[in-house]
Amino acid sequence: MDKTSTGLQENVAGLLCYLGTWITGIIFLIIEPKNRFVRFHAFQSIVVFGFIQILGLILSGPFALFNLLFAWLIWVAGIILWIVLMVKAYQGQRYKLPVAGDIAESLLGKG
C-alpha cells in the first residue's frame, strides 16, 4: 500500500473517507490532492451519503408518517453500505457501486 500525502496508508485513508459519511469525503478531497485511490473513495462517499441524506430530508417532509417504513429501509441500507464500503476500502479494494461509483470515477477524471 502506498502512503498518502497525509502520511496515512492509502487503505486507512480510504476507510476514513467513509467514516464520517460525506463530511470526511470532503475533508479528504481537500487534504489529499494526488492519491487516486483515496480521492475515488472520497468522491464515492460524497455521492452515496449525500444522496442518502438528501433522500432522508425529503422523506421527513409533510408525509413523514407515510414514508416512515421507506425511510427506515433507507437508513438500514445506508448503515450496511457504510460498513461494506469501509471494509472494502480498508482491504485496499477500489469497490465501485453501480451508479455512485461511475459518478465518482467521472469526477476523478483521467489523470
Q: Is there a domain that residue 4 lies in?
A: no
pLDDT at 1: 73
| Structural domain of 59 | 10-108
What CA–CA distance (Å, rounded) separates 9 from 84?
19
46-60 pLDDT, tens digit each:
999 999 999 888 777
Q: Which residue has the cell 489529499?
A: 32
Q: Which residues contact 2 (CB under 8 A, 6 or more apart)?
A: 9, 10, 35, 37
Q: Is there a domain that residue 76 lies in?
A: yes
21-46 pLDDT, tens digit each:
999 999 999 999 999 999 999 999 99
Q: Is there a domain that residue 63 lies in?
A: yes
Q: Is there a domain that residue 27 lies in?
A: yes
Domain tally, the chain: 1
